[in-house]
Structure 1
Amino acid sequence: MHNGARYLIFFQYIGTKYSGAVKVPPNQLVKKGVQDYIEEAIWRLKPVNSVSLCVSSRTDSGVHALSNSAHFDLQRKNDKPPFSEKVLVEALNSKLGTEQIRITRAHRVPDDFHARYNAQSRTYVYRIAQGISHHTLLPLTDSNFCWSLRNTELDVGAMREAAALLVGTHDFSSFRAINSDLPFKNPVKTLDVASIQPGSSFARTHFHREVPLWELTFTSRSFLYKQVRRMVGALVAVGQRRLSVPQLKEIMDVRDTLAYPKGLAAPAHGLFLTRVDYRETDLQHSQETSEDQSTPNS
């Protein structure tokens, strides 16, 4: 006799056409979230149970992911054994069709595993193109995937000095966007990494113009709403000498979302969630039964 199986999936998406990672309430006439499409794909595998995806990281509208994650339970009809991880990945990608969403891998996990609460860290990378007088001068491979700045000069040394102030355990209230959903979320977070490194472009070797790119990387167990985009915006303002390092520290020390200068946050399209990390031991599921390798019926 087979019961349902809990799976953790990792998935990528280009966020441009989606309202964000999570589901959109049915009464809202807006574009759908990535979760809506993945749930539809799972539903097309004809599970017995009502499937609900629990997404680990709620990326915002227009933000991309190279690796987000989610868990769900799946019970097959007629007491069939659970899908193997390989078959599940292939089947879901087939059902997703031409959507800009791709399942990269799946793990069968224990029944009490939780994609959001078991996550040990999340890493975001923000891409900046420098000295671009008009966005049409970017290669097509980069145009929707970085924030293009007109400035040819950025004081990266000052940006790194400012980024170092953000590392560690702080109250990040000043870097949280005002959002009625999560007013009671603890604003104290530990930022493990805030680094600024030269980035790379696939087009660099194939495009007849040098495009200076920077990648800003941030790692923490969790982030506040729009925290990364607000940190990036402030660091870029420091690089452009519109904000001094002491001023950035002052904004942080005030611990008030209203202290953050209006219009400074970085746009969504330069931001990528690049990884969600788990403990190997949390992912281990005892394989008591041999897994079914059959391909699901379409």
Structure 2
Amino acid sequence: MSSTKVRYLIFFQYFGTQYSGVMWTPVTQSVLGVQNYLEMAAQKLRPVGSIKFSISSRTDTGVHAICNTAHVDIERAAGKPPFTETVLVQALNHHLQPESISVLKAIRVSDNFHARYKALSRTYVYRIMTGCCYAQMPVFERHRCWPVQEGLNLAAIHEAAQLLLGTHDFSAFRCANSDNAFKSPIKTLLQADITPASCFLTHNLQYRDLQFWDFTFKSKSFLYKQVRRMTGALVAVGRGQLTPQHVKELLETRDPKAFPGSALAPPDGLFLKEVEYDEMDLSTEQILS
């Protein structure tokens, strides 16, 4: 009997502090990427040939994912049926222990499906905590949010965020030394919301003055470090260090060197929340067609 190669879309999450980022890194490095561990776990399933995950959305060192995605081709030995989606999830999670990585779901997709290029949108959330400095923050929140000691002018932040919505040249919000500098800086920001968030320790009197805010951004794709730069600029507005007009002027400069380096938000509070796809691309009919 011949073997069959099957492509799966994998949904997975991770706590990014202990990894070099999501992308594969040479095994000679002291800190590996999330992709390294996903591939090592899949290789333990004894597939035919080597395993390669194609990641949909890049995240850097210290950045977390509530849900990232990747596609992977798995071919089993002759005579063995393809893994069911449920069994594949269970097997991968078994071999991922004790890493801070978990596979949430697997969906069998067509052979030409691409996790990166088929994505309709990506949503990132950046968590801000106000009311204390890093040394005073709850230990359970460390590496999961950006502590800002002073309060923020939310009205000014909302005003500045509205200026970022829509289609713009976001060159000023990209990393000046980005390897992807040749890519188009024209992006359409579909969402830029700032909403209250919660902490399960807020009932403790010691932390009663803490406030948490989610900065949510949605677009089909983002430039390298764009979300961290947008967040940093908005927080600078909230602190009174910049004005909404300054944000507008930054956009208009189209110059990454014009961005104040001190305004770059740290990676700790950034989460990739969701990668969205067209349901038709994930349907059984599409696979069989």
TM-score w.r.t. length of structure 2: 0.95
> Match for residue 42 of structure 1?
42
In 2, Cα distance between equivalents of 1:138 and 1:278: 37
Deviation of 1:26 after TM superposition, in Å, equals: 4.6
How many pairs are equivalent? 286
Q: Work out whether residues 230 and 264 of structure 1, in 8 Å CA contact, stay in contact via their aligned partners in 2.
A: yes
In 1, Cα distance between equivalents of 2:286 and 2:242: 56
Q: Structure 1 regions of 5+ residues with no counterpart?
A: 290-298
> Match for residue 129 of structure 1?
129
> Match for residue 80 of structure 2?
80
Q: Work out whether residues 165 and 190 of structure 2, in 8 Å CA contact, stay in contact via their aligned partners in 1.
A: yes
Deviation of 1:3 after TM superposition, in Å, equals: 1.2
- CA deviations 1:48-105 (Å, max 9, x no partner) are 0221110000001100000000001000112311100010000000000110000011
In 1, Cα distance between equivalents of 2:221 and 2:287: 34
Q: Work out whether residues 179 and 225 of structure 1, in 8 Å CA contact, stay in contact via their aligned partners in 2.
A: no
Q: Secondary structure at the match of 2:23?
A: coil
> Match for residue 111 of structure 1?
111
Q: Secondary structure at the match of 2:284?
A: coil
> Match for residue 175 of structure 1?
173
Q: Secondary structure at the match of 1:80?
A: coil
Provide runs of 4+ in structure 1 moved above 4 Å: 286-289
Q: Percent identity?
A: 50
Q: Work out whether residues 136 and 143 of structure 1, in 8 Å CA contact, stay in contact via their aligned partners in 2.
A: no
CA separation of 1:127 and 1:287: change in aligned 2, threshold 3 A: closer
Q: Aligned ranges for residues 140-179 of structure 1 at < 5 Å?
A: 140-151=139-150, 153-179=151-177
Q: Work out whether residues 280 and 286 of structure 2, in 8 Å CA contact, stay in contact via their aligned partners in 1.
A: no
- What letter corresponds to residue 228 of structure 2 in structure 1? R
TM-score w.r.t. length of structure 1: 0.92
- More off after superposition, 206-215 vs 232-241: 206-215
Deviation of 1:2 after TM superposition, in Å, equals: 4.3
> Match for residue 11 of structure 2?
10
CA separation of 1:30 and 1:288: change in aligned 2, threshold 3 A: closer
Q: Structure 2 regions of 5+ residues with no counterpart?
A: none
Q: Secondary structure at the match of 2:162?
A: helix
Matched, 1:285 2:287: no
Q: Secondary structure at the match of 1:79?
A: coil
Aligned pair partner of 1:185 in 180, 183, 186 = 183
Deviation of 1:288 after TM superposition, in Å, equals: 9.1
In 1, Cα distance between equivalents of 2:285 and 2:155: 50
Q: Secondary structure at the match of 1:182?
A: coil
- CA deviations 1:195-249 (Å, max 9, x no partner) are 0011111222356422201110000000000000000000000000100111111
> Match for residue 217 of structure 1?
216
What do you get for the CA RMSD once the two structures are aligned?
A: 1.6
- What letter corresponds to residue 106 of structure 1 in structure 2? A
